[in-house]
Structure 1
Amino acid sequence: MNPTNDHLSIVIPVYNEEAGITETIDVLENYIANRLETYELIFINDGSTDNSAKLIRAASERNANVKLIELSRNFGHQIAITAGLRYASGDAVVVMAADLQDPPAVIPAMIDKWRAGYQVVYGKRVSRAGDSLIQRFMAASFYRIFRAITNINAPLDTGDFRLMDKQVVRELRKMDEPDPFIRGMVSWVGFKQTSVTYERQERQRGSSKAQRKGMFRLAVDGITSFSALPLKLPAWLGGLSMLIGLGYLIGAAFTGLTTLKFLVFALFFLTGTILVSLGIAGAYLFRIFNAAKQRPLYVVAKASGFSSKQQSVLTFKTNSKPTPSHQARQ
């Protein structure tokens, strides 16, 4: 792979980053100037109410590598990343934060892994400077809970800072999910993945936009998108309630069954029956939910030995989804 032929896209979601966006642009422009690859910097203004968009627009006018997508309102961090991925044209795409907490100095290590054959290279944090003890605990707990209750082999202690090959990005574009959880989606599509470790920097300018409410909502979106546990939980609790009721009835039979004891048994048993019924309904509901998301049944990384006619028959129709540029012309 010739480095001079590689074209990379760097996707940066932005929300009210006026205080530090100029420095971010300068740092990234200096990084690009010292690299052999060609780059495009795609900033997604997610409904900022400050001068972030104005500053990026000024940079775009003097540097053709700087591009700006302006969303009509604040749609959220994950939607902003999704928009950036759909506009990216690079052979590989890097997603990073606008506050330089994800240092561009890590990108060359990601590129080296990519050239070695890996299609997803995510940044794994060995430290989180500037984060409170509560934030670190919440983040560490979420990743471990998410991995335990889903069938997704999601990496621990990672965020959205990662490099993805264009083949991975192409698969992500097919997934039109209203509440995307990019980290989970990248793990779900598979491909050859690895990590590079780095120390997350402390924010130098501006304030963090990642509030606890937003972090909680992101965690809920991730769990409900990839796990049936919340819907199956009533069935498990119902089964436990029925067992407690039966155990109580057996114990009462030896000590003397009274009307009150029978009513206690009936309460536990009927409550358990209702919860089990809800759990069964939830299992069916999750199947409907999965079907509604219209994720592909599987993702093909490579196929060999087939004729071109067979390949065209086997290729999903979703491969031909229009790109943003095509949609603009329609």
Structure 2
Amino acid sequence: MKSPTYPVVLTIIVPVKNEADGIEHFLNRIVPVLENIPKKPAWEIIFVDDGSTDGTLAEILSSRSKDSRICAVELSRNFGKEAALSAGLDHARGAAVIPIDVDLQDPPEVIVAMVEKWRAGFEVVCGVRTNRQTDGFVKRSTANLYYRIHNWLSDHKIIEHAGDFRLMDRRVVEVVRRLPERNRFMKALFSWSGFRETTVEYQRNEREAGTTKFNYFKLWRLALDGITATTTVPLRIWSYLGFVLAAVGLVFAGWLVLDTILRGNSVPGYSSLMVAVLVFGGIQLLSLGILGEYVGRILIEVKQRPVYIVRDSFGLEERE
């Protein structure tokens, strides 16, 4: 068993946006789980309010008035879930840290098994979904495809069907906190750290309150961030493709010269010309788009703006 040197053994990070209806449900479910973990580790829950416009913060503060172990970080606007997770990691003081969503699709009861694995010596314990029946067919299919593409392209693999719900040792948290990049794909950063890792399987539940804040456009942006943040293979692919196309073009040009010498100059067809223009033009635009994705991320990194801005915090200043 580990011997934590931190006054709080376990920190739960909960990013929220417009989840006023879910705060009480979440706490009623997770607090008894934390209270019944063997050897009763000291714990805290840090809600990160990512620009909510409803009564989410008021609900959190109401719960805090009943239990001082419930804390809150209020961001100045919506910075996105990856930034909210970063804010939670920066303010967590536990010897182990667990991000979890407030919608209870990831069951808090799994935390007990995660703590057991951590005490056994593992530094990262990932929650892995054994099914995605709560997701629609399109989302399940695209998720499966994304994991395969990401792990094929990237040198640092991520565990398939493992989200942000995981336990991380303090050493892992400190490594992630020191990473300077602004474009953050947290699952890849956790994997990149390279500590001893294991998994705990569970079945994903239906959301108990509120509505999801993700849509397919946001998921697409997250997928692009995940690939461009972890690998430069897409850039190399277009280098290889350009070489192949150039070689094919030279062979075709040689054939045209030879054909003209042997059979004379024939009038080329309009259809074949348009096909060539559209195909090669589409390839060029696609390659420029990929280059633009990387250049845009370079611009964001060069600006060196903070990942998030804190408007206020509750319960964090008291423990310094």
State the TM-score bracket (shorter-chain normalisation): 0.7 to 0.9
Would the alpha carbon gap of residues 60 and 134 (structure 1) be closer, same or farther in structure 2, given more than 3 Å must change? same
Look up the match of 2:135.
131
3-state SS, counterpart of residue 99 of structure 1: coil
Matched, 1:217 2:226: no
Matched, 1:66 2:63: no
Aligned residues: 295
3-state SS, counterpart of residue 162 of structure 1: strand
Cα deviation, residue 260, structure 1: 6.8
Look up the match of 1:236.
240
Would the alpha carbon gap of residues 43 and 286 (structure 1) be closer, same or farther in structure 2, given more than 3 Å must change? closer
3-state SS, counterpart of residue 51 of structure 2: coil
Matched, 1:167 2:163: no
Would the alpha carbon gap of residues 252 and 194 (structure 1) be closer, same or farther in structure 2, given more than 3 Å must change? same
Letter in 2 for 1:100: L
3-state SS, counterpart of residue 54 of structure 2: coil
Cα deviation, residue 123, structure 1: 0.7
Look up the match of 1:152.
156
Query: 1-side partners of 2:118 and 2:35: how far apart?
Result: 20
Q: Is the 8 A contact 2:8 2:93 kept in 1?
A: no
Which of 83, 86, 95 matches 2:87? 83
Q: Which has the higher contact order (CA 8 A, sep 6+)?
A: 2
3-state SS, counterpart of residue 29 of structure 2: helix
Which of 110, 120, 123 matches 1:119? 123
Query: 2-side partners of 1:289 and 1:78: how far apart?
Result: 18
Matches within 5 A, 1:133-282: 133-252=137-256, 255-257=259-261, 258=265
Cα deviation, residue 287, structure 1: 11
Q: Is the 8 A contact 1:128 1:202 kept in 2?
A: no
More helix by share: 1
Letter in 1 for 2:115: I
Matches within 5 A, 1:5-44: 7-35=9-37, 36-44=40-48
Letter in 1 for 2:48: I
Look up the match of 2:54.
50
Name stretches of at least 5 consecutive residues in structure 1 with no aligned partner.
262-273, 295-324
Cα deviation, residue 228, structure 1: 0.8
Look up the match of 2:99.
95
Cα deviation, residue 206, structure 1: 1.2
3-state SS, counterpart of residue 237 of structure 1: helix
Query: 2-side partners of 1:174 and 1:293: how far apart?
Result: 18
| Mean Cα deviation higher: 176-185 or 88-97 | 176-185
| Mean Cα deviation higher: 82-91 or 242-251 | 242-251
Cα deviation, residue 256, structure 1: 4.0
Query: 1-side partners of 2:292 and 2:56: how far apart?
Result: 42
Q: CA deviation digits over 1:176-196, x for unaligned, max 9? A: 321211000011111111111
Letter in 2 for 1:139: A
Between the aligned residues of both structures, percent identity stands at: 35
3-state SS, counterpart of residue 104 of structure 1: coil
Query: 2-side partners of 1:253 and 1:239: how far apart?
Result: 21
Cα deviation, residue 290, structure 1: 10
Q: Which runs of 4+ in 1 moved over 3 A?
A: 249-261, 284-294
Cα deviation, residue 85, structure 1: 0.4
Cα deviation, residue 51, structure 1: 0.8
Cα deviation, residue 137, structure 1: 1.1
TM, length-normalised to structure 1? 0.77
Q: Is the 8 A contact 1:176 1:293 kept in 2?
A: no
3-state SS, counterpart of residue 117 of structure 1: coil
| Mean Cα deviation higher: 162-171 or 125-134 | 125-134
3-state SS, counterpart of residue 94 of structure 1: strand
CA RMSD in angstroms comes to 3.9
| Mean Cα deviation higher: 200-209 or 86-95 | 200-209
Would the alpha carbon gap of residues 224 and 289 (structure 1) be closer, same or farther in structure 2, given more than 3 Å must change? same
Query: 1-side partners of 2:267 and 2:193: how far apart?
Result: 56
